[in-house]
Amino acid sequence: MVIIDNNTDEGKNEQGKDYIVRELLNNNGVFNFYLLDGRRFKNETERFAIIESLKNEGYIRRVEGAIGQTYMLTDRFRNEQLMMYKDLAVRKLDQMPDSEISLNQFISELLVPDMYQSDFKKFLELGGYIIITTKTRQGDFFKKGHQMSLYFLNSLMQENKARQKNSASLQKNIVQERSTSESLNTIDMKSAEHKKLKIFIGWSGEKSMAMAKRLYEWLPSIVPDIVIFFSPAISGGANWSNEIARWLKEADYGILCLTNDNLNSPWINFEAGALWKGIGETPVCPLLLNINSRQLTGPLNTFQSKNFDEEGIKQLCRLLAEKTNLDARRVDISFKGIWHQLNKEMNDDLERISKAEPQDQRPYGLKITSPIELNELSTPVRVSGTYDILPPHGIVHAIVLNPRTNEYWPKKHLMYDKRNKTWETEVDIDIKSTQAEERIILIATIGPCMKTLIDFRKKVYDKTKQALGLDDSPILHDDIDVHDEIKIKIASNKKL
């Protein structure tokens, strides 16, 4: 967040954003917005507009099933904060001596929010910026890591290049003042100009972002004469969409980080099309993580792709080195010293993402194989099918939907046969009509809100012997993830 002139409407709006974010940070990233101080806003309309703006920017999201307007900070906000504080930490470390330093004191001086301090310490250690040397009850002590050595060497190289550029520029001026046109012809003026290769890295999704972040951090250590655009590194005061549009237009080379999660991403395809239109055919490289080039479609299929592995990244570095006139042998030496750490960090990212992925969002591949669609059945109905990945016990249920009344009737969870990768359950349905009625059986993952409703419904049934249906609502839609469904007919006067 940036502070703008508080006397303008824009400044007041930004003040409101800062206030909301501070409340979230002071409450471990989760806060009920009904508790916001209304005096901080001009009116309710402004408050809701600021909340919507933060949602649209991807910094907050609503906590489903929670009471009132409860929101939490997103991973995107966390990642941007970590990148911002990383840049501050690197600059601070570069000015500090090569001796043991108190980690707690270092973090506190950077003013890292409490809720991110643990993540930030791991981020610095795993990134190679620090090495923990001593652990005490009072806290850890560290020294500068190998990444800071690379940062220092890279800084020296850039300073040296700047001196060479200035020297060449000075030489050019002297020659122009004292030489004739004949002497000018002996100097290659192009050698006095130094322009870095601009690289645009496109990503969409958490795994793709992890790929992009590692490239952003490590590629300049292998190929120094490049400058990389990585959207989370955009400064807080910049216009997000304008910056992306500018880089898409000015980029000399494009890298698109592709995973099985974003192959059909509209944003990735937009960036691929924009890069194609802006810089031609060869300078765009789809980088593939655990997928193959045969899976690429549309604009992505027109580019020469590389794999995110040791050989693929080495080829990419050699290509960039060729474009910046860097000796290939030097690239190979730098790559050999860096690849192990880059690969380790990427694998750590993928493991973290896998563990953090909500169990109710994993692709289990649940399919119904029996009964047959629109068959008229007696009670009870036995439903069975197959699965690809075994879901955790108890989170996938059969749910009966009455399409006439839009009421949902939660039923039993699925039972699994691990050897054959099959599942089954038995569904009870009460038909009070004298004619057969249609019902839809859903096989769905349920969230915490739906789980609470099912538990409440069971308690009501135990006391009253009356089974309550759940009315259709947005909350219900948001809290169930339907894997497969089937429409059947239930014979009349049958209690299942």
Cite the DSSP H helix spans in 260-327: 266-279, 310-323
Q: Does residue 145 or residue 105 have the better pLDDT?
A: 105
Q: What is the pLDDT at residue 394?
A: 79
Q: Does residue 180 or residue 94 have the better pLDDT?
A: 94
Name the CA dihedral angle for 429, 432, 438, 440, rounded to a multiple of 10 degrees. -30
Average pLDDT in the 385-403 region?
84
For residues 63 and 72, is the Cβ–Cβ distance under 8 A? Answer: yes
Q: What is the pLDDT at residue 313?
A: 94
Q: What is the pLDDT at residue 405?
A: 79
Average pLDDT in the 142-149 region?
69
Give the integer Cα–Cα distance in Å for 172 and 184.
Answer: 9
Q: Kind of pairing, strands 253-258 and 284-288? A: parallel
187's tokens: 């100097």
Q: What is the pLDDT at residue 494?
A: 42
Q: Does residue 402 or residue 424 have the better pLDDT?
A: 424
CA separation, residue 237 to residues 2, 31, 80, 188, 233 (Å): 6, 25, 13, 40, 11
pLDDT band at 425 (very low <50, low <70, confident <90, very high): very high
Q: At what angle do helices 328-356 and 310-323 cross, to 10 degrees?
A: 130
Which pLDDT tens digit goes with each residue over 329-342?
888 888 888 888 89
pLDDT band at 479 (very low <50, low <70, confident <90, very high): low
Which pLDDT tens digit goes with each residue over 225-251?
899 988 776 654 445 566 777 787 888
Residue 92: helix, strand or coil by DSSP?
helix
Average pLDDT in the 410-438 region?
84
For residues 444 and 430, is the Cβ–Cβ distance under 8 A? Answer: no
pLDDT at 224 exceeding the cut of 90:
no
Give the integer Cα–Cα distance in Å for 383 and 371.
Answer: 6
Q: What is the pLDDT at residue 123?
A: 73
Q: What is the pLDDT at residue 257?
A: 92
Q: Per residue in 215-249, is it b (16+ CB within 10 Å) or e — as a string?
A: bbbbbbbbbbbbebbbbbbbeeeeeeeeebeebbe
Q: What is the pLDDT at residue 320?
A: 92
pLDDT at 86 exceeding the cut of 90:
no
CA separation, residue 328 to residues 146, 333, 444, 489 (Å): 23, 9, 54, 70
231's tokens: 């959207």
Q: Which domains does the chain have, with CATH numbers?
A: 9-73 (1.10.10), 77-144 (1.10.10), 197-356 (3.40.50.450), 361-490 (2.60.40)
pLDDT at 302 exceeding the cut of 50:
yes
Q: What is the pLDDT at residue 210?
A: 92
Residue in 21, 122, 118, 17 with CA at minimum distance from that of residue 73: 21
What is this structure's pTM? 0.39
> Could you give the percent of the chain with pLDDT greater than 90?
9
Chain CA centroid to CA 406, Å? 36
**Lowest-pLDDT range of 20-34, 200-214, 447-461, 466-480:** 466-480
- 91: exposed, middle or buried (Cβ count in 10 Å: 0-12, 13-18, 19+): exposed
> Could you give the percent of the chain with pLDDT greater than 70?
74
For residues 106 and 148, is the Cβ–Cβ distance under 8 A? Answer: no
Q: Does residue 229 or residue 189 have the better pLDDT?
A: 229
Task: Name, in order, each residue with C-beta under 8 angstroms of 380's C-beta and a sequence gap of 6 or more.
Answer: 426, 427, 428, 496
Positive/negative CA dihedral, 413, 417, 421, 424: negative
131's tokens: 């090495």
Residue with tokens 């249609």: 438
Whether residue 299 is preceded by a cis peptide bond, meaning omega within 30 degrees of 0, is: no
Give the integer Cα–Cα distance in Å for 252 and 324.
Answer: 11
pLDDT at 173 exceeding the cut of 70:
no
Q: What is the pLDDT at residue 167?
A: 44
Q: What is the pLDDT at residue 306?
A: 93
Positive/negative CA dihedral, 227, 231, 236, 238: positive
Give, rounded to a whole angstrom, the gap between the first and last alpha carbons of the chain: 58
pLDDT at 163 exceeding the cut of 50:
no
